[in-house]
Amino acid sequence: MVRQALIGGVLATIAIVPAMAQETDGGNDIVVEGRRDTQRLSAGLWQVDVSKAYHFGRNPDDWDSRRPAGSDRRWTFCLPDSEVVSLTRLLVGEGRSDAAGSTSCRPLHVRIGDGRLRATQACNGGSMVIKSRDGGGGKNVPAKHALVVTGVYDPSSLRLEFEDRQEPVEFSPDYAVRPDMRRWTVKGERVGACAGQRSLAGER
């Protein structure tokens, strides 16, 4: 499951249907600390940058190597007044993945307040290859995923750090297993007003 690949499609969709980033009901999976009215992104023209994903391989021989995947990307679009949590849920994919047919995810759990956010989600599904400790061949085993998102925000900016960790559902003493991890960053900044939206003080 490569969650980072979902983000481009999500941002492209928001650019066409901006209301997607507005309020959604998170039920009991959101822990709010502080006032809700401070946990919003101001309407306007937003520039969002998505970094390439850095891969920490599961092969013990190259565990310390950071191998980038993909490329840095940028989107610019008009965003309505939006909740930070709602946009974060969209960027995570709300349980979707490129292996959605074989992957099931628990609801995203979000703790937010005072300009900081932490979100976690656990998923089962998909598979990974692990190698034998004696240097023999590898085998394909069922996998599980753990996503952690940490970030900071204010009405005109947002920065989210993603870490997606994959490991076998069951460990075997005969195989050398290290988690397979990917990390990437999403940064957003309000750069102006959009036609039909109210400008902030000082904007023309």
Amino acid residing at 130: I
Is 204 a domain residue? no
Is 197 a domain residue? no
Distance, CA of 107 to CA of 6 (rounded, Å): 17
pLDDT tens, per residue, the chain with 204 residues: 455 555 656 666 665 555 555 555 555 567 766 666 578 899 999 999 999 888 876 554 544 455 677 778 898 989 888 889 888 888 887 544 444 456 788 888 999 988 999 999 999 888 877 777 766 667 788 889 899 999 999 999 999 999 999 888 887 776 666 778 889 999 999 999 988 655 554 444
Distance, CA of 37 to CA of 19 (rounded, Å): 18
Is 60 a domain residue? yes
pLDDT in tens, 58-85: 554 544 455 677 778 898 989 888 889 8
Is 131 a domain residue? yes
31: nearest Cα among 129, 114, 154, 136 = 114
Which tokens is 160 given? 């989210």
Is 167 a domain residue? yes
Which tokens is 52 given? 């390439």
119: nearest Cα among 101, 100, 105 = 105
User: Can you tell me whether residue 84 is helix, strand or coil?
Assistant: helix
> Dihedral of CA 153/38/5/130: which sign?
positive
Which single residue is written with the structure tokens 């940490």?
150
Which single residue is written with the structure tokens 């947002």?
158
Residue 8 lies in domain? 4-192
Distance, CA of 146 to CA of 41 (rounded, Å): 27
pLDDT in tens, 162-191: 999 988 888 777 666 677 888 999 999 999
pTM for this one? 0.76
Is 92 a domain residue? yes
Helices marked H in the chain — which ranges? 4-16, 84-92
As for how many domains the chain has, the answer is 1
Is 198 a domain residue? no
Is 150 a domain residue? yes
